[in-house]
Structure formats: structure tokens, C-alpha cells
């Protein structure tokens, strides 16, 4: 962790750089299948131009995969010029406010940093329908960009009527304490072009690859409008999950009881989203990740998404992937260990405990800190299987990853009403290999790992001696930890296992009480 800590410590000292993007657009890679992998051949290296991220002082400059849409969206207002203070004053004075729930705020975070590039705000109806029916949206250049989950903001009927009656063109988004987070409006492509050509009073805006395009709506009020449309919840749930059965965690949290209307438009976020939970230093934006990969001279970045503690089987898959990339001719492949940090279902291990467990894994040398970047992915979790895994992969393209590791039943869950898995375990990796808009991403399906009782370690499953292998499911792992029992030697590093046991200990009822304690922060 020392290497990453040093990087985090020096972020404020990094010089700002804002300049036009250079180089031609990367040609789409030809996918050539080799055993257990998809290899890119003929991909032209693209110099990633510097992206101004004044809020954190980060430069984005590396030969990495190009973001979707050709540039990395940045929707956070700049610190210079008093823009943030002006937005706060405006938001406080706006007559219409939409209060954000937990998941809504996580989506603002995702949108603000460019994880969903080229999306510039909550979806309008055309974007919503494209995402829902095609798992992709059409970019400004006319090409389809993968976008498999709708990113939308729900609105109640009373607010809808009030906003429409007033003809409001700008709406404040506020948190649970009514503090302004962002302003939602519309900044059309025409308006952005006009701003780019003529806005030279105090800030130069360059419309080019990897550049943030600031949406200065106050200069051109005639372009400002917002879009409100019907929220067909049943259709949304059916198309996202393939079922409308009750008990889908994300649907219960963010859809079923949400408003019957959706409001779409571009976002200008007042300041970077912070959680003040002791983990913000791990919440690296796509621009910051690209800067770190460049600093490490990475010539390949392979991403591993997870929402569970890391055991030695996971580590085996990641270290073997790096070995394979070295054999392909890459000189310095870097792992992005990228735990999901947004909403998860109640029985998942909380983020703070997972991050503490991941730290122990690196401290024990199970993963090499010199070739591993640990960061938090701010998206909420849908548990939507093959549909959602496309979103997970697409977002990592914007962070600079050109390889994505996918395993059994990615983003899956058990059926909420029946005793079976909701999705076919192999469909996720098959869908990723065919998904529109993900042609540039190299999919690395991993082999099955299990505990080798002869070698006393996690190893790749060998069907010729299947009786020597023990499969330790997530349920079994949780049961062992809850009962304070130790797993077989070599299943997980001792420090990591101790963290897991401590977490489940924190759930034991207090003495004299039958109520489970809330999990304490790690």
C-alpha cells in the first residue's frame, strides 16, 4: 500500500494542465481468441491528453484506452473564478428542489466524475429508452456507446406539476439536509459549441478529446430546459432484471417506492462528492486512475470488480492474469482492484470492512502492491447479472482499463422467490464478448479456482482429479466466519480472515438483548 499511499499524498502538489487532446482516435481492436483470453491486435496507441481536474489537481496523461465518446466527462464546477460559490447561491435561490436519496447521490457521484461518459447528466427519455431497449446510447458522433443500466432521477407527481406549471428550466438537487449538491438543467450540443467558441472571458474551454466541457447555462438561457417523462417502473424492472418478482434489492431500494415520473437533464455538480467515512482517499476518479496508471508506466490495465472479501482463489486469478499478459508481450500490466462502493444488499459485507480486509491482503503480499491499484468504484449495485456486468465493464474503460476479468455469474444473485440462481452462470461472460459498444475491451474469462486438498492451497480446478478439490462457497465462508471457525490453510491470508471474523462478531446481539447490533465501522 506504500506506493499508492505516496501517490495519494502528493495529489495536491500535481500541477494543473489543460490542453487539446492529441493523436488519432484508437482503431477498434481485432479480437483474437487464445486459450482463456481475448487479445487485442493492431490497436493504435492513443496519447491521452491532459484533463483539467482543478478540484483535485490531477493530470490525465497516458497511453491508455480512449474513454467512451472520445473525452472524459467532468461535471464538477471549477474552483477558479468563483463558479462554485455562484452555483451555491443560485441553488439556494431556485424555487424548485429535488431531494436526493442515497442511491441518487451515488449516481450524481458516478456521473460527475465521468464513469458514465459520454453521459452528462440524468437520462432524458430518448437516452432512457435506448439504454432500456438496446443496452446502449448513441453518442454525439453517432456511434453507439454501451450503457446497459438506466441512470435516472425519479420525481413525484406534485413536484412534476409544480415544475411544469412554472416552466422551470433549472432545478436544484439537494441532500437529505437540504444542502445543494448540483443543478439540473439542459446544455445542448449547440450550446456547448457556442460556449466553446465564444466563452473566453475568464476560462478557456476547449472542445476536444479528454477535455471537460463546462456547461455555462447562465450565458445562454434560451438553451436551458429540462425534460420530465413517465417512469414506467414495471417495464424498467422487467427489462433490467428479466423478472418482476418481489425482493430485488435495488428495485426495492430505488424504484418501487420512487416517483412516477423521471426528470432528465445535464448536471453541474457544485463540488466533489465526499462521504467523510475515512475512505474518501480510495475514491479515485477515472482521471486520477489514469494519472496513476501513467505514473506507473502501465502498458496494460486489467480490472477486477468485486463486492466480497478477497480470498486466495481471487488472488490466484489476478496474479495468473498478469502472468498471461506478460506472456502476451506486455511489459508492465497493472491490476485495478476495484471493489464496488455504492448500495449493496443487506447481507453483503459493508464497504469499510471489505476495504480493511483488502489492505490485509496487500500487506501479506498475496497481491503485489507495486502492480496493484486499489480504489473504490462508486456505483450502486443492481444484481442484474448479464445486463449489469456490461455497465461494470464499460465504466472501467473510462478509467483506463483495456482488459476486464469476468468469472462465473457476474453481478448475479439468487432468485428472490425461488431456490435457484436468477441468471445462467455463463451468460455474463458470453454477453460481454458480444455486447455493443464494448468491442474495444478485451474480456478475460477466468478459470474455476477451488481449494486443492492435496496441495493445501487454492488452485485451478483439475477435472482429472476432481475429488481432490473442495469448493468453498460464499455461504460456507460466511458460516465459518460467523462461527469463528478457521477455513482450510491457504484459503485466505490470516489477517484478512481475522477482519472477516471481527465483522461478524460485531453483528452478535448485545448481552441481554435479542436484537442484532448494527455493524460497527471498520
Helix, strand, coil percentages for the chain (3-state, nearest 5):
35, 15, 45
On the question of pLDDT at 261 being above 60, the answer is yes
- Cis bond upstream, residue 495 (ω within 30): no
Joined together, the cell numbers standing for residue 310 give 478477497
If one compares 141 and 23, the residue with the highest pLDDT of the two is 141
User: How far is Cα 475 from Cα 56, in angstroms, rounded to an integer?
Assistant: 40
Give the other-Cβ count within 10 Å of 63's Cβ: 16
User: How far is Cα 111 from Cα 310, in angstroms, rounded to an integer?
Assistant: 28
On the question of pLDDT at 327 being above 90, the answer is yes
**H-helix or E-strand spanning residue 363:** helix 351-363
The owner of cell 445562454 is 220
On the question of pLDDT at 297 being above 90, the answer is yes
The pLDDT score that the predictor gives to residue 509 is 72
- Cis bond upstream, residue 118 (ω within 30): yes
Give the other-Cβ count within 10 Å of 183's Cβ: 23
Joined together, the cell numbers standing for residue 359 give 489492505
The pLDDT score that the predictor gives to residue 224 is 41
The pLDDT score that the predictor gives to residue 507 is 92
Cβ contacts of residue 59 below 8 Å, gap of 6+? 14, 15, 16, 17, 50, 51, 53, 291
If one compares 348 and 210, the residue with the highest pLDDT of the two is 348
If one compares 513 and 505, the residue with the highest pLDDT of the two is 505
Q: What are phi and psi of 22, to 5 degrees?
A: -120, 165
Q: What is the mean pLDDT of residues 36-40?
A: 33
The owner of cell 480493511 is 356
Confidence of residue 187 (pLDDT cuts 50, 70, 90): low
Joined together, the cell numbers standing for residue 453 give 486438498
Lowest mean pLDDT among 176-180, 198-202, 388-392, 486-490: 198-202
Residue ranges and CATH numbers for the domains of the chain are 83-187+223-269 (3.10.400.10), 280-507 (3.40.50.620)
User: How far is Cα 234 from Cα 241, in angstroms, rounded to an integer?
Assistant: 11
| 173 within 8 A of 100, measured Cβ to Cβ | yes
User: How far is Cα 473 from Cα 419, in angstroms, rounded to an integer?
Assistant: 16
| 75 within 8 A of 116, measured Cβ to Cβ | no
pTM, 2 dp: 0.82
The pLDDT score that the predictor gives to residue 447 is 82
Q: What percent of the chain has pLDDT over 70?
A: 78
**H-helix or E-strand spanning residue 194:** helix 189-198
User: How far is Cα 509 from Cα 505, in angstroms, rounded to an integer?
Assistant: 9
CA atoms within 13 A on the CB side of 522: 22
Confidence of residue 334 (pLDDT cuts 50, 70, 90): very high
Q: What are the pLDDT digits (tens) for 454-492? A: 999 999 999 999 999 999 988 889 899 999 999 999 999
DSSP one-letter code for 137: E
The owner of cell 440524468 is 122
The pLDDT score that the predictor gives to residue 417 is 95
On the question of pLDDT at 216 being above 90, the answer is no
Q: What is the mean pLDDT of residues 420-428?
A: 96
| 279 within 8 A of 49, measured Cβ to Cβ | no
Confidence of residue 49 (pLDDT cuts 50, 70, 90): very low
| 304 within 8 A of 337, measured Cβ to Cβ | yes
| 135 within 8 A of 419, measured Cβ to Cβ | no
Query: Would residue 385 be called left, alpha or beta, if left means φ above 0 and alpha means ψ between -120 and 50 degrees?
Result: left
On the question of pLDDT at 48 being above 60, the answer is no
Q: What are the pLDDT digits (tens) for 494-503? A: 999 999 999 9
Strands, E assignment, 36-106:
37-41, 97-99
On the question of pLDDT at 114 being above 50, the answer is yes
Highest mean pLDDT among 136-140, 213-217, 348-352: 348-352
The pLDDT score that the predictor gives to residue 508 is 81
On the question of pLDDT at 163 being above 80, the answer is yes
CA atoms within 13 A on the CB side of 86: 11
Confidence of residue 199 (pLDDT cuts 50, 70, 90): very low
The pLDDT score that the predictor gives to residue 34 is 31
On the question of pLDDT at 252 being above 70, the answer is yes
Chain-centroid distance of CA 181 in Å reads: 20
Amino acid at each position: 500500500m506504500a506506493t499508492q499511499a505516496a501517490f495519494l499524498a502528493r495529489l495536491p502538489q500535481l500541477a494543473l494542465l489543460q490542453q487539446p487532446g492529441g493523436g488519432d482516435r484508437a482503431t477498434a481492436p481485432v479480437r483474437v481468441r487464445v486459450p482463456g483470453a481475448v487479445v487485442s491486435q493492431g490497436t493504435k496507441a492513443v496519447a491521452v491528453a491532459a484533463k483539467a481536474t482543478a478540484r483535485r489537481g490531477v493530470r490525465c496523461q497516458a497511453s491508455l484506452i480512449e474513454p467512451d465518446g472520445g473525452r472524459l466527462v467532468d461535471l464538477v464546477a471549477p474552483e477558479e473564478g468563483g463558479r462554485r460559490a455562484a452555483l451555491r447561491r443560485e441553488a439556494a435561490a431556485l424555487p424548485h428542489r429535488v431531494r436526493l436519496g442515497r442511491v441518487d447521490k451515488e449516481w450524481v457521484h458516478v456521473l460527475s466524475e465521468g464513469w458514465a461518459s459520454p453521459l452528462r447528466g440524468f437520462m432524458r427519455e430518448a437516452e432512457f429508452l435506448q439504454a432500456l431497449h438496446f443496452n446502449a446510447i448513441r453518442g454525439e458522433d453517432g456511434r453507439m456507446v454501451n450503457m446497459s443500466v438506466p441512470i435516472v432521477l425519479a420525481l413525484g407527481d406534485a413536484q412534476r406539476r409544480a415544475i411544469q406549471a412554472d416552466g422551470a428550466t433549472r432545478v436544484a438537487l439537494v441532500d437529505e439536509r437540504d444542502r445543494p449538491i448540483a443543478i439540473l438543467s439542459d446544455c445542448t450540443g449547440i450550446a456547448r459549441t457556442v460556449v466553446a467558441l465564444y466563452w473566453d472571458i475568464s476560462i478557456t474551454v476547449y472542445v476536444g478529446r479528454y477535455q471537460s466541457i463546462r456547461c455555462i447555462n447562465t450565458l445562454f438561457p434560451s438553451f436551458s430546459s429540462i425534460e420530465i417523462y413517465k417512469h414506467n417502473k414495471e417495464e424498467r424492472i422487467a427489462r433490467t432484471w428479466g423478472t418482476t418478482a418481489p425482493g430485488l434489492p435495488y428495485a426495492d431500494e430505488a424504484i418501487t417506492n420512487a416517483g412516477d415520473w423521471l426528470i432528465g437533464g445535464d448536471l453541474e455538480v457544485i463540488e466533489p462528492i465526499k462521504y467523510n467515512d475515512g475512505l474518501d482517499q480510495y475514491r479515485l476518479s477515472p482521471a486520477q486512475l489514469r494519472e496513476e496508471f501513467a505514473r506507473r508506466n502501465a502498458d496494460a490495465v486489467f480490472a477486477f470488480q468485486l463486492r466480497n472479501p478477497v480470498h486466495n482463489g481471487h488472488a490466484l486469478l489476478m496474479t495468473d492474469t498478469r502472468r498471461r499478459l506478460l506472456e502476451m508481450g506486455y511489459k508492465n500490466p497493472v491490476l485495478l482492484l476495484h471493489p464496488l462502493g455504492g448500495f449493496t444488499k443487506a447481507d453483503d459485507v459493508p464497504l469499510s470492512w471489505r476495504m480493511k480486509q483488502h489492505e490485509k491482503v496487500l500487506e501479506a503480499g498475496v497481491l503485489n502492491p507495486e502492480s496493484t491499484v486499489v480504489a473504490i468504484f462508486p456505483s450502486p449495485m443492481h444484481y442484474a447479472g448479464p445486463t449489469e456486468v456490461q455497465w461494470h465493464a464499460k465504466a472501467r474503460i473510462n478509467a483506463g482499463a483495456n482488459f476486464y476479468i469476468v468469472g462465473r455469474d457476474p453481478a448475479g444473485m439468487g432468485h428472490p422467490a425461488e431456490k435457484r440462481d436468477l441468471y445462467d452462470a455463463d451468460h455474463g461472460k458470453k454477453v460481454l464478448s458480444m455486447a455493443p459498444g464494448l468491442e474495444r475491451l478485451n474480456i478475460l474469462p477466468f478459470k474455476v479456482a477451488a481449494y486443492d486438498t492435496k496441495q493445501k492451497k487454492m488452485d485451478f480446478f483439475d477435472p482429472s482429479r476432481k475429488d481432490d478439490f473442495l469448493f468453498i462457497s460464499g455461504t460456507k465462508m460466511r458460516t465459518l466466519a460467523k462461527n469463528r471457525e478457521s477455513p482450510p490453510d491457504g484459503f485466505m491470508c490470516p489477517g484478512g480472515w481475522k477482519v472477516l471474523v471481527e465483522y461478524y462478531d460485531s453483528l452478535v446481539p448485545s448481552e441481554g438483548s435479542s436484537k442484532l447490533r448494527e455493524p460497527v465501522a471498520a
